[in-house]
Structure 1
Amino acid sequence: MAEPGTHRTSPVSFVRRGGRMSDAQERAWEELSPFYRFDAPRDSASTSVHPDARFIPEQEYGRTAPFIVEIGSGQGHAIVSAATARPDTDFLAVEVYVGGLARTMLDADREGAKNLRVIEANAPEVLETLLPEGSADEIWIFFSDPWHKKRHHKRRMIKDGFGATAGRALRDGGVLRLATDWEDYALQMREVMDAAPEFARAFDAEWAERFDGRAMTAFERKGIEKGRDIRDLTYRRVAR
């Protein structure tokens, strides 16, 4: 249980799920972690990040380059595709499920994507303290858990106050990209971000155009097959 003053003062947007990793995933976790995984110092829980810990992109990647963070990277299909296509850009995958991170490392290694790192951590803590202020060029949050039951809406990641959390990590002019296949969550996202003083819309219509840098994943395809519309939102960090 979190102690007073630690990060766990509000509900997290995930539930840790069990499940055994495959032999390949186990090997990836052991063999590929030294290169790909940022082993964050912990605070009060297994996915907590100690508030004094820092992820310095220039140190982790050994260069200065555009830096993109994906929150809730799942199995890593979108971020591995992007990292492979954009070797001049550095990517960080933030996820709480070790099986997904192991798969991400396996695929990145197979594709030769050396510009990718992964971290097992509660995303708001990554944005609030782990990353240097203004260090990210883009933050991606694609298909985060919609927590569709009303009593669980407090667990949604994009809610009141998220603008300040994401805005801290983004540089001035940086981009926040969102996508969901749940209409009521899309409406909440738009309401929250439209009201956030740290951001301004980067789209003119009711919804943003589909981000062409987002690889089509099985998750997105499943939503389409079930008849749900995919809604994108894009916001730009205003000058501090």
Structure 2
Amino acid sequence: MTDDQSAAPEANERPHRAIKSFVMRSGRMTEGQQRGLDQGWPKFGLEPGAGLQDFDQLFGRSAPRTFEIGFGMGQATLEMAAAAPDEDFIGVEVHRPGVGALLNGMLTQNLSNIRVYSCDAIEVLRDCVADASLDRLLLFFPDPWHKARHHKRRIVQPGWAQLVRQKLKVGGVLHMATDWEAYAEHMLEVMNAQPGYRNLAADGRYVPRPAERPVTKFERRGERLGHGVWDLKFQRID
């Protein structure tokens, strides 16, 4: 991203565009997903244009706070929020049917400890989340951008890692998971080079799958096909 996006480009200069780690996908909306957007978004949806948020005020309490990037169709988020009613969750997802599915699940299960953004997660982290305010940040199965020419699109980069560190409390944890071994190795390489973090793996590499991370249908299918999954946990130490 550029530091200053307000300056106009020169006459023959093409404006610099930030590299995105995601692709905006359209999809058919089911009745339930549309219900989630129609009824759930006014209650639980947040807009990045509102700027820095006071999440204690939004949730009506001070509680352990988890920020999740890319919750997909929201099944894992719903499961985590239902299992931890004394904790609060902020989820970000660009895929509108997934946003609708999560909101519909919240309405169906009568959950109120989740708030939702539907936009660029880096923008939300930068502009809407106070420094040292998160207990956890979750990044589960991000797009691996497996072709070498696309590696620059991977969300896990040094600048992102330091932005996350800035938003985590001291002692807060960044938890990532991927089913692409090459991306797991990339994550490990990037994170091991970052100051202010400690790898929580006993061997300095990967942690066993934590019990608090739900196993998704996608993951179970991958296991049946012999695919591995790698979990990484890094704690902010200063």
TM-score under structure 1 length normalisation: 0.90
* CA deviations over 1:164-220 (Å, ceiling 9, x no partner): 111111011100001000011000000101111131111112311111111111121
Report 1:116-155 matches (<5 A): 116-155=114-153
- Aligned partners of 1:108, 1:101: CA distance in 2, in Å? 11
1:31-42 alignment runs, 5 A limit: 31-41=39-49
- The CA deviation at 1:225 is 2.7
> Which residue, 14, 18, 23 being the options, matches 1:10?
18
Amino acid at match of 2:41: S
Q: Is the partner of 1:235 in helix, strand or coil?
A: strand
Structure 1 residue 23: deviation in Å?
2.1
Report the counterpart of residue 29 of structure 1 in structure 2: 37
Paired residue secondary structure (1:200): strand
Deviation at 1:9, TM superposition (A): 4.6
Alignment check: 8 A CA contact 1:198 1:238 kept: yes
Deviations 1:100-127 (A, max 9, x none): 0110011122122111111112111122
- Which of 110, 113, 117 is the matching residue for 1:112? 110
Quote the RMSD (CA, aligned, Å).
Answer: 1.7
What code does the residue aligned with 1:16 have? M
The equivalent of 1:63 in structure 2 is 61
Q: Measure, in 2, the Cα distance between the counterparts of 1:81 and 1:108.
A: 10
Secondary structure (helix, strand or coil) at the match of 1:161 reads helix
Asked if residue 20 in structure 1 is aligned to residue 42 in structure 2, the reply is no
Amino acid at match of 2:60: G
Task: Report if the CA contact (8 A) 2:21-2:143 is conserved.
Answer: yes
| Equivalent position amino acid for 2:236 in 1 | R
Counterpart residue identity of residue 101, structure 2: R
1:167 equivalent in structure 2: 165
Distance (Å, rounded) in 2 between the aligned partners of 1:9 and 1:17: 19
2:233 matches 1:234: yes
Identity between Structure 1 and Structure 2 (%): 37
- Structure 1 segments, 4+ long, off by >2 Å, are none
SS of the aligned residue for 1:31 comes to: helix
Taking the aligned partners of 2:127 and 2:202, their CA distance within structure 1 comes to 32
Are residues 9 and 195 of structure 1, via their aligned partners in 2, closer, same or farther at CA, if it must alter by over 3 Å?
A: farther
1:28-107 correspondence runs (5 A): 28-41=36-49, 53-107=51-105
Q: For residue 28 of structure 1, what is the amino acid of its counterpart?
A: G
CA contact (8 A) 2:47 2:117 kept: yes
After TM superposition, the score normalised by the length of structure 2 is: 0.90
- Corresponding residue for residue 220 of structure 2: 221
Question: Deviations for 1:113-146, whole angstroms, at most 9, x for unmatched residues?
Answer: 1111111121111222210011110000000000
Asked whether the 8 Å contact 1:84–1:112 carries over to 2, the reply is: no
